Amino acid sequence: MKASAPPKTESFKLSMLLSDTRYRGTSLQVITFIIFVAVFFWLVDNTLKNLALLGKDVSFNFLFLRAGYDINQRLIPYTSDSTHGRAAFVGILNTLLVAFVGCFFATILGLFVGILRLSKNWLVAKLMSIYIEGFRNVPVLLWIVMIFALLTEFTPAPKAFKGADPQATMLLFDSIAVTNRGTYFPAPIFGEGSFWLLLSFILSVLIVIFIKQYANKQKKETGKSLPTFWISILIIILPTLGLYFLIGKPISLEYPYLKGFNFKDGIHLRNSFLALTLALALYTSAFIAEIVRAGILAISKGQTEAAASLGLRPNKIMNLIILPQALRIIVPPLISNYLNLTKNSSLAIAVGYMDVRGTLGGITLNQTGRELESMLLLMGFYLCVSLLISSVINYYNRSFQIVVR
């Protein structure tokens, strides 16, 4: 048999760089890379030229200079004599505060609405879908300014609380005052001995965790479940409550009271903070509700039926079969909604809440004229938060994903 002639080896032609699949990928990448680098250097070159024209340099020294402006809401001590760096830090803490409080309430509300949306009750389900569509289809900025306008214009001025027959009264046994300058809550005062109280509380929580673990172990070994719920509640409440009276009521509440034309003492939450947190929580809760609903609906009905045929009761089916599976679907988008809420908190500027955009990216930027540096730091901060949160999502996905073999 005649051996077939070896295929003719083609000589390399320049046009093959574009037409031959063996080289096309590489040449495409080289071209892209060259364009990318060129554009990058063009931008940097422009920036340097512009800075030179304006007589500016790139330096972060302004962070250590005196800020010279006040921030009316702060979690750490700050005066107008503090540095710009500290102002930025105050802003970061304010952003995180809004993010935490907002996420907390958004989750609770979202869970509640999402579950009610699935209710067999037609009226309730419809009401909840109106809630969800209403909040999802209107811009969050509009909600923020609307709630802010409501809080400042609809509520009474502090002086309305004055006199023997005041126009406005405080809520909840004279403890909470809603005014157009913000809402005043009672503040807890930690007296002598509150440390022991805290210690006993932590101890009882530890004991409860231990009991839970023991009960779980028993259940795995013998199949019997021990009643732990009421015991845990008793263990958490009783010793701490007993100690509270034994030591002589170390923790007391400091009620806000009217002095002159304003309220004194207590915790003062400004309207800007309230409006921002409330609007973000309501807006995000609508998205969370949809996530929760989708998560629960995604668990096939067969799971419920199989669990029921094993003889599990409805609440056990929910706790042991549906929720663990639904959570796997719910948690990643839930966390990315937390991220959205954090990023949306930069809308604080619309109501004058001093978050990191307001301090570092607002007043500091305008006072020092360091646009480039301030924006870089600001974006760096948000990028860090977002990378942190997405690594949490990735970690969760890796540890809880169904293992396919």
> Where along the sequence are the contacts to other proteins (CB under 8 A)?
18-19, 25, 28-29, 32-33, 36, 43, 46-47, 49-51, 53, 119-124, 127, 133-134, 136-142, 145-146, 149-150, 153, 343-344, 346-347, 349-350, 357, 361, 365, 371-372, 375, 378-379, 382-383, 385-387
CB of 93 vs other proteins, minimal distance in Å: 17
CB of 252 vs other proteins, minimal distance in Å: 36
First to last CA, the chain: 49
Measured CA angle at 75 (ends 72, 77), to 5 deg: 80
Q: What are phi and psi of 352, to 5 degrees?
A: 80, 20
HSE-up (13 A, CA, CB side) for residue 102: 32
Closer of 136 and 181 to other proteins (Cβ): 136
Closer of 78 and 283 to other proteins (Cβ): 283
Strand 182-185 to strand 257-259: parallel, antiparallel, or no bridges (unpaired)? unpaired
CB of 237 vs other proteins, minimal distance in Å: 28
The span from the CA of 331 to the CA of 277, in Å, is: 22
CB of 38 vs other proteins, minimal distance in Å: 13
CB of 239 vs other proteins, minimal distance in Å: 35
Measured CA angle at 278 (ends 276, 280), to 5 deg: 65
The span from the CA of 398 to the CA of 404, in Å, is: 12
CB of 23 vs other proteins, minimal distance in Å: 12
CB of 45 vs other proteins, minimal distance in Å: 9
